[in-house]
Chains A and B, each alone.
Chain A
Amino acid sequence: MPNIDRREFLKLVGAGGVGAGAGFMLKESKKDPTEYLIPYVVAPEDFSSGIATWYNSVCSMCSAGCGISVRTREGRAKKIEGNPSHPVNQGRLCGMGQAGLQVLYNPDRITEPLLRTGERGAMSFEQITWEDGLGQLAERLELLRAARRGNNVCLLSEGTNGHLAQLFESFMRQLGSNRLHHYDFDHPHTLYAANQGFFGQDHLPYYDLQNTRLLLSFGADYLTNWISPLHHSLGFGASRQRQEEERGRFVQIEPRMSISGAAADEWVAASPGTEGILALGMANHMVSQGVYQGADRADWSAALSDYSPSMVAEQTGVSESTITRLADDFAGTQPSLAIGGGAAANHSNGVDMLVAVNVLNYLAGNVGREGGLLFNPQPAGTVSRPHQASYRSMLELAEAAQQGEIDVLIINGTNPVFTLPAAAEFREALDAIPLVVSLSSFFDETTVLADLILPSNSYLESWGDNFPEAGVGFRVGAVSQPVVSPLYNTRATGDIILSLAQRIGMSSTIPWTSMEECIKDGWRRIYEQGDPQTLAQGFEEFWISLLKAGVWGETTTGTTSFEPDQNIIAGIGVAAPEFSGSEEDYPFILHPYLSPNFHDGRGANLPWMQERPDPMTSVVYGSWVELNPTTAEELGLIEGDLVDIESPHGQVLAPVFIYPAIMPNVIAMPIGQGHSEYGRYAKDRGANPLEILSPQMEPITGNLATSATRVRLVATGRHIDLVKTSGTSRDLGRNIVQTTGDEGHEVSDARLNSIPITELT
């Protein structure tokens, strides 16, 4: 076979195997002219010119774990679709998921292992071999392990789960280190803590949006980036598409209208950080009106006595009539569901607020029933939640580094230099770490500071598996497999760890030579716990059918009943939110929100995401700061005026956008732009609001209170033309988007527009 070396040709495993890439190795410079027309004289088995081959895998663009089916042609990935069999997304896929192709084929990917030659951050690297790179790192690790200083090694990874997470755990344990941290900016620490605190469950419940008839969302942008946005969108759609009275109603409570707010039937603006107080006001009303008739009614009454609707109205800015109406609706509509998240969960009172939301669900009788909140069973595989680092943990890590307690830091796919505020001084902490290794695929702000880079494959080139932490009410797992052979001289993250394990002599506990082997072995264990029918097929059959389907499930459900502890009830309460900065100096509250296009910044190097207009504002390729129209008028600002947004901890520059649905004393900025590195599409574009956040924390979890920073606006006198795709976003009476409440609009007779042309008059 001409010009195909072993690395290119991957072995087939049934129909779930991988076709070799059509010779797309960038190192390959000379090709026979006939090879352009007919790439292979003897083609790999699954390669038929003109016919697509589909592979199932799992999307890794966010932590929801949607199943995907990737269409490949001649060894190239062409289109990512949702996997119809996967219960999380049921064949649908969000835009970021589609853009995974641009992670794979991104022009700014790191293609070789690199070793730093100049100063840190100067971007001077030389190419080295894998042998060299792995050897150097293994040597250092071995030394530390032998000297019983394994705890001076820290592995800081993006959130992963499944067997890769398990591998990380084993590896670090063998090394003698307890510094395994997963750091995801958007990890819902407070939600986990609230569920642990109120329900005593250490994993998330299942929120049954599909069957609910009234959803009250306290700040959670469930359609865009809260836990499992695809699944919630499916639920939202199904709820809307039910006939007439069965149609679900959605209410959003937040200071700035998010996408979920726009989709909602009602948007209620509550003062930032008071959402929990509002929830308890509603709870108070439900108890005092006799809606709740549980045995512990007296306990509840006592606990909620400070939260009468009139008192709550004052604190939250929401009128008493609205509070009581919402409470009545919530209790009266069955089933109903309350959820919380987003900015509301990221205040100093975040955990208490989410407990208050759970209280509402409990009092309305939503717990453990369809259309409400259902408990999930334990996930079938390892999850990263136990190792998810809160802001406090990251501060502790930085402190440890400064104290010289960290000798080696291994970074995998996470970008703390970008997502942590400048006040955390994480970048400075890195200076104190002698060896920083990165396993990332891109030169993001953290990776440019590395000394050794061992680049990972993208998720479309890797073996892996996923057990969605959000859950769907029953156990689900999926295997992700490579859909193309690796484009460059990179390796799967798992394979890197396995190679290191080999070199350091951990083969007894970590015996696998490849990630594929490791995952297959892991699934053998799952298979062995299956029912007799599954066992009858034999493991190989099971494995093939798993890869063909792309998903595995088990009907084990979670617990259904729940009784709150008396002590817990007594402890219910939501304190007023705390903010940094004084109100006179810093009159506005900064509301940073996860951008639908870039999430926490990871999508900024994807040109499709830069070019896609922001759903609410239609701005492309830039950042902006949203101002209430009255506020803007008072400050004499128009769209495009450049302003400095100053907090007690720094300032950023952004153009103004007049936003009709935001509270007058709140300003909002999308998170995701403002990269100083991260490739040609992301670099030096826009502003990063995370930089200037004050280091307020939620006390129980140590979670960063991202919505607790006060800021002031200083006009610079400069102006730019915001690049947006929308023209005038008002319909000027033309009734373009028609609603059923429109008066005097004839319902058009849209039936039977099939044209039998011969009937033309």
Chain B
Amino acid sequence: MSLFSRFMDGWRKYRKPGYYDEFDYHWTMTVDLDSCTGCEACMTACQAENNIPLVGEEELAKGREIQWIRIERYWEGEYPNAKLNFMPMMCQHCDAAPCETVCPVSATYHNQDGLNTQIYNRCIGTRSCAVYCPYEVRYFNYYNHHWDSPLDQQLNPDVSVRGKGVMEKCTFCIQRIRDAKDLAKDDDRRRVRDGEVQPACVQSCPTKALTFGDRKDTESQVYQSMNNPRAYKVLDELNTDSSVVYLKKVDA
């Protein structure tokens, strides 16, 4: 390549978070708002899988919850025509993530699977990523957390326990993705198949409102969802290029 085209190539890569030519996988989640009942099974499953700390009543009163996936509530109308809509909200793993540009130490970056990853031991706790995230899905550890023994026996050894001063958020259960990729690699170097890896929330959802997969795989469920006429993205107008596709609730 000529010097100029090398430069232009580098420039194109530089403009994209992660600087990749192409992602290995492109993990995507679909949330069917028509099926979500707001039961919050996903929240507890996530807590169990990812060692989410128990913040306690006092800290919750100060507004310091840590909920990698949360259910938002939006009431519509008034009695007797009131309706309640639930919106599961987790890290959208945006391809044009505002949080990635602002971290001064690159503790958050886009990896080769299209995931927005948080490196706990690099984080110095400026909390600017939480400010820049329009979905407000980043949570800060204001204290070191404590589990009354023996509740700590339940902690998942595949996931770090975060100390104070560090930012955390949904990782699409990257430990499960890594495991699945490892297994697939051992198994004749194939790719991970659709449905082989599910984050804890997707696995637990009683109505199957959540699906997860690789949108590069055109046979996958998530790829079909993206072509569903009901598909949309939350705060799409901000052009964050999120990886979570929501399916509109049906008015019937």
Q: Is the CB of B44 within 8 A of A747?
A: no
Known: A608-B47, A620-B60, A758-B21. A660 touches B75 (CB 8 A): yes
Tell whether B185 is near chain A: CB-to-CB under 8 Å: no
Residues in A whose Cβ lies below 8 Å from that of B232: 738, 747-748, 750
Q: Does A702 contact B (CB under 8 A)?
A: no
Check if A247 is an interface residue, CB within 8 A of chain B: yes
B6 at the interface (CB under 8 A from A): no
**Residue on A with the closest CB to B136?**
A727
Bound-complex Cα distance A260 to B56 (A) = 29
Q: Please name the 10 residue pairs, one residue from A and one from B, whose CB atoms are nearest each other, closest first.
A: A741-B251, A237-B207, A233-B206, A95-B44, A660-B82, A737-B85, A750-B231, A621-B57, A262-B84, A661-B82
Contact of A747 among B16, B23, B72, B231 (CB under 8 A): B231
Please tell me which stretch of A70-78, A197-205, A645-653 contacts chain B, meaning at least 4 of its Cβ atoms lie within 8 angstroms of it. Answer: A70-78
Which B residues have a C-beta under 8 Å from some C-beta of A? 12-13, 15-16, 20-23, 26, 32-35, 37-41, 43-45, 47-49, 54-57, 60-61, 65, 67, 70-80, 82-87, 95, 148-151, 153-157, 200, 203-209, 215-216, 226-227, 229-236, 241, 245-246, 248-252
Interface-centre pick from B150, B155, B246 (highest chain A CB count, 10 A): B150
Interface-facing stretch out of A399-407, A667-675, A718-726: A718-726
Taking a contact as CB atoms under 8 Å apart, the answer to whether B79 and A105 are in contact is no
The answer to whether A259 and B226 touch across the interface, beta carbons within 8 angstroms, is no
A-B contact pairs, 14 of them (CB 8 A): A97-B41, A99-B44, A607-B148, A628-B79, A725-B65, A729-B74, A731-B74, A736-B87, A737-B86, A748-B232, A750-B232, A752-B226, A753-B241, A754-B23
Decide yes or no whether A630 CB sits under 8 A from chain B. yes
Interface residue? A27 (CB, 8 A): no
Complex Cα distance A297/B238, Å?
A: 62
Q: Are B40 and A101 in contact (CB under 8 A)?
A: no
Contact pick for A234, options B78, B206, B246, CB 8 Å: B206
Nearest residue in A to B21 (C-beta to C-beta)? A757
Q: A263 interface residue, CB < 8 Å from B?
A: yes
Contact A240 B60 (CB under 8 A): no
User: From residue A111, how far is it (CB to closest CB) to chain B in Å?
Assistant: 11
B226 x A751 contact (CB < 8 A): yes
CA A269 to CA B82, docked complex, whole Å: 11
Closest residue of A by beta carbon distance from B51: A78
CB pair B73 A257 closer than 8 Å: no
**In which size bucket is the chain A interface?**
35 or more
**Given the interface contacts A240-B207, A660-B78, does A247 sit within 8 Å of B38 by beta carbon?**
no
Query: Contacts of B67 on A, CB cut-off 8 Å?
Result: 725
Most buried by A among B57, B209, B251: B57
Q: Which of B41, B80, B157, B234 contacts A94 (CB 8 A)?
A: B41
Q: Is the CB of A730 within 8 A of B74?
A: yes
Residue ID in chain B nearest A607 by CB atoms = B54
Given contacts A98-B45, A107-B149, contact A78 B157 (CB under 8 A): yes
Known: A236-B37, A263-B37, A723-B60. A755 touches B206 (CB 8 A): no
When C-beta atoms are compared, the residue in chain B nearest to A317 turns out to be B80
Closest to B215 in A: A754
Whether the pair A240, B57 counts as a contact (CB closer than 8 A) is: no
A241 and B37 CA atoms in complex are apart in Å by: 13
In the complex formed, the residue of B with least CB distance to A234 is B206
CB distance from A161 to the nearest CB of B (A): 22
A234 contacts B37, CB within 8 Å?
A: no
For the complex, is A656 an interface residue (Cβ under 8 Å from B)? no
**Is A755 a contact of B85 with CB atoms below 8 Å?**
no
New contact pairs (7) apart from A663-B79, A758-B12, CB-CB < 8 Å = A74-B157, A76-B153, A81-B203, A740-B250, A747-B229, A747-B230, A755-B26
When each residue 209-244 of chain A gets 1 if its CB lies under 8 Å from chain B and 0 otherwise, what string results?
000000000000001100001100110111011000
Residues of chain A lying within 8 A (CB to CB) of residue B21:
757-758
Residues of B within 8 A of A26 (CB): 150
Does B22 lie within 8 Å of A756, measured CB to CB?
A: yes
Residue A613 CB within 8 A of the other chain? yes
Q: Give the CA-CA distance A748 to B155 in the complex, in Å.
A: 41
Partner of A596, one of B16, B40, B209: B40
Q: Which of B75, B234, B241, B249 contacts A729 (CB 8 A)?
A: B75
Given contacts A24-B153, A748-B236, contact A612 B44 (CB under 8 A): yes
Give residues 50-85 of A contacting B (CB, 8 Å): 73-74, 76-82
Interface residues of A in 24-67 (CB under 8 A from B): 24, 26
* In the complex, A554 has a CB within 8 A of chain B: no
Residue of B nearest to A109 (CB): B150
Residues of A within 8 A of B246 (CB): 738
Question: Within 8 Å CB of B153, what residues of A?
Answer: 24, 76-77, 105
Q: Does A525 contact B (CB under 8 A)?
A: no
Given A92-B208, A259-B38, A661-B79 in contact, is the A753-B226 Cβ separation under 8 Å? yes
Contact yes or no, B154 A611, CB < 8 A: no
Knowing A230-B206, A241-B35, A721-B61, say if A739 contacts B250 (CB, 8 Å): yes
Please determine whether B37 and A259 come into contact, CB atoms closer than 8 angstroms: yes
- Docked pose: A257 CA to B40 CA in angstroms: 17
Q: CA of A356 to CA of B38 in the docked complex: distance in angstroms?
A: 30
Q: A223 vs B86: C-alpha distance in the bound complex, in angstroms? A: 14
Candidates B16, B57, B148, B216; contact of A620 at CB < 8 Å: B57
A79/B156 in contact, CB under 8 A: yes
Known A78-B156, A596-B39, A758-B21; contact A737-B249, beta-carbon cutoff 8 A? yes
Instruction: List residues of chain B with CB within 8 A of the CB of A238.
Output: 208
Chain A CB within 10 Å — which of B39, B203, B209 has the most? Answer: B39
Q: In chain B, what residue has the closest Cβ to A107?
A: B148
A contact residues around B73 at 8 Å (CB) = 615-616, 618, 726, 729
B60, A98: Cβ atoms under 8 Å? Answer: no
Q: How far is the CA of A236 from the CA of B205 in the complex (A)?
A: 12
Give the residues in chain A near B34, CB-CB below 8 Å: 240-241
Contact, CB under 8 Å: B15 / A236 = no
Nearest residue, chain B, Cβ from A81: B203
**Which chain B residue lies CB-closest to A265?**
B252
Given the known inter-chain contacts A95-B40, A101-B48, A747-B232, please indicate yes or no for A607 contacting B151, CB distance below 8 A: yes
B195 to chain A, nearest CB (A): 11
Among B61, B77, B78, B251, point to the contact of A723 (Cβ < 8 A).
B61
Question: Which residues from chain B contact A750 at a C-beta distance below 8 Å?
Answer: 226-227, 231-233, 245
The yes or no answer to A93 lying at the interface (CB within 8 A) is yes
> Could you tell me the distance in whole angstroms from the C-beta of B174 to the nearest C-beta in chain A?
16
CA distance A210 to B8 in the complex (A): 55
Q: In the assembled complex, how far is the CB of residue B78 from the closest CB belonging to chain A, in whole angstroms?
A: 6
- In whole angstroms, how far apart are the Cα atoms of A607 and B53 in the complex? 10
Instruction: Give every chain A residue within 8 A of B70 (Cβ-Cβ).
Output: 613, 725
CA distance A327 to B229 in the complex (A): 32
Residues in B with CB closer than 8 Å to A611 are: 54-56, 60
Which of B32, B80, B235 lies in contact with A240, CB distance below 8 A? B32
Q: How far is the CA of A78 from the CA of B149 in the complex (A)?
A: 15
What's the nearest-Cβ distance from chain B to residue A707, in Å? Answer: 19
Q: Are B79 and A736 in contact (CB under 8 A)?
A: no
The answer to whether B75 and A757 touch across the interface, beta carbons within 8 angstroms, is no
